[in-house]
Amino acid sequence: LARATWPFEAKHAPRSQIVDAVCDLSVQLLNLANVTPSAVVGAAMGVPAPVEQETRRVGLQSGIPAIVGDGLEAEISERLGMPFMLENDANLSVLAEWTAGAAEGHSDAIYIEVSEGIGAGLILSGRLHRGAHVRPGRSATHRSSRTARSVAAETAVAWSCWPARAPSPTRSANNSPHG
């Protein structure tokens, strides 16, 4: 319907500036698409952090300290006058690829994202998997000193079935996830 970009450095911005930027860009997109907020079922935004499904709390692993904690979804939803949801950015990316991209038509997909950290979104048998600890593909221990812009590289891979006897791509022979 519409596309807009808004250069904004969120990493060190206070929460109020982030909320203002998200709401202003959302209103701009609605105006460009000639859509009223009442016609929108809901909106979502990807964040570089795990989001706890029960509490909607943004996890501490975020590279944007001001978004960590509770209440961000509710604050933006109230300002926009529509349902608003936060989700891990790699999870939203795999859902997008699975719905209308490289993984369309496949029951399983993985999206690997490399920026300031390494993350992954995973769809198995047509369902998004978040993992036992909210972040199945997130490597919070790997951080780059460079900005996300300078190291951003994203790729999507889809497969129709993983061979039953093939070794897991995340486990080595000693069952360690790191080799």
Q: Tell me the per-residue pLDDT of 97-110, one tens digit each, with 9 for 90 and over.
A: 999 999 999 999 99
User: pLDDT tens digits, residue range 37-92?
Assistant: 889 999 999 999 999 999 999 998 888 999 999 999 999 999 999 999 999 999 99
As a whole number, mean pLDDT of residues 123-147 equals 60
Q: What share of the chain is helix, strand, coil (3-state, %, to 5)?
A: 30, 20, 50
**Strand 108-114 to 118-124 pairing:** antiparallel
- Residue 71, classed as helix, strand or coil, is coil
8 A C-beta contact, residue 86 and residue 51: yes
- Confirm if 103 and 97 have CB atoms less than 8 A apart: yes
Q: Are strands 84-88 and 43-47 parallel, antiparallel or unpaired?
A: parallel
CA distances, 175 to each of 41, 48, 139, 161 (Å): 44, 28, 17, 22
Mean pLDDT in the chain?
77
φ, ψ for residue 70, nearest 5 deg: -95, 160
| Helix, strand, or coil (residue 77) | helix
The closest alpha carbon to 76, from 26, 144, 131, 40, belongs to 26
Q: What is the largest CA-CA distance in the chain?
A: 56
**Which pTM value belongs to this model?**
0.72
- Partnered with residue 155 across adjacent β-strands are 112
Better pLDDT: 80 or 151: 80
d(CA 124, CA 108): 4
